[in-house]
Chain A
Amino acid sequence: GAGVSQSPSNKVTEKGKDVELRCDPISGHTALYWYRQSLGQGLEFLIYFQGNSAPDKSGLPSDRFSAERTGGSVSTLTIQRTQQEDSAVYLCASSLTSKGEAFFGQGTRLTVV
């Protein structure tokens, strides 16, 4: 497809389990962002990948969160030992740095029970 694709669209997991969220950016986009959004709140920046540069991890809330981007394309966000406060929509976006506009996927709704 032409857009940013995220999977799964919904994920329910038990507290303490690990989860992996996937993002397929638009082909050729060098920048990739992960955000999370709790109900009724704004976007919370998590991590930013730009080409081959070291990722900006300044938004990751704890060491239970990690992300990687393989081959400059697909990215996975991993949350270890999930907690109830991790419940949110996790949004991925990609952009061509030279233009700057970011295009979002539809998000993964994570519910930790």
Chain B
Amino acid sequence: RKEVEQDPGPFNVPEGATVAFNCTYSNSASQSFFWYRQDCRKEPKLLMSVYSSGNEDGRFTAQLNRASQYISLLIRDSKLSDSATYLCVVLSGTASKLTFGTGTRLQVTL
């Protein structure tokens, strides 16, 4: 089983739609969680951290379910500019190593 698993997509949604991505992780002792965004031919960039109580940043909401070991990202009112690959990232282990999922591709269309 992979340490971090994501549905690769692609998710094709119209502008204005709400879309949700899930991610599962295998290490129950994982410490921190993040969502990154990667545009085509660019480096990944931090989108938001994921806190135990859930957190929101504008149109983006991240949630963590430790019991089921999954993380979610909800994007409301999708914009064309949201088209990208979204990477789930988990920090775990005594060495505090970051592990990236393979990413979920989102394409927002007119």
Determine chain A's interface SS by DSSP, over half rule: strand
Q: A42-B103, A91-B43, A107-B43 are in contact. Are A102 and B98 (CB under 8 A)?
A: yes
Question: Could you mark each residue 92-103 of chain A with 1 if its beta carbon is under 8 Å from any beta carbon of chain B, else 0?
Answer: 010101001111
Residue in contact with B96 in the complex, picked from A42, A45, A93, A97, CB distance below 8 Å: A97
Q: A42-B103, A45-B99, A95-B98 are in contact. Are A104 and B32 (CB under 8 A)?
A: no
> Of the 9-residue stretches B18-26, B44-52, B56-64, B73-81, which lies at the interface with chain A?
B44-52
Q: A42-B103, A43-B87 are in contact. Are A100 and B98 (CB under 8 A)?
A: yes
Min CB gap B84→A, angstroms: 14
Q: Which residue of B lies closest to A51 (CB)?
A: B95
Min CB gap B50→A, angstroms: 11
How far apart sit A97 and B95, CA to CA, in the bound complex (Å)?
9
Interface size on B, as a range, is: 20 to 34
How far apart sit A104 and B37, CA to CA, in the bound complex (Å)?
12
Q: A100-B31, A100-B34, A101-B34 are in contact. Are A42 and B46 (CB under 8 A)?
A: no
B46 surroundings in chain A (CB, below 8 A)? 101-103
- Asked if A105 and B96 sit within 8 Å, CB to CB, the answer is no
B72 surroundings in chain A (CB, below 8 A)? none
A interface size (C-beta, 8 A): 23
- Asked if B95 and A53 sit within 8 Å, CB to CB, the answer is yes
The reply on A20 being an interface residue by CB < 8 A is: no
**Other 12 A-B pairs with CB < 8 A, given A56-B97, A93-B98:** A31-B96, A33-B98, A35-B100, A42-B101, A42-B102, A50-B97, A93-B44, A95-B98, A97-B96, A100-B32, A100-B91, A103-B46
Q: Which residues of A contact B (CB under 8 A)?
A: 31, 33, 35, 41-43, 45, 48, 50, 53, 56, 91, 93, 95, 97, 100-107
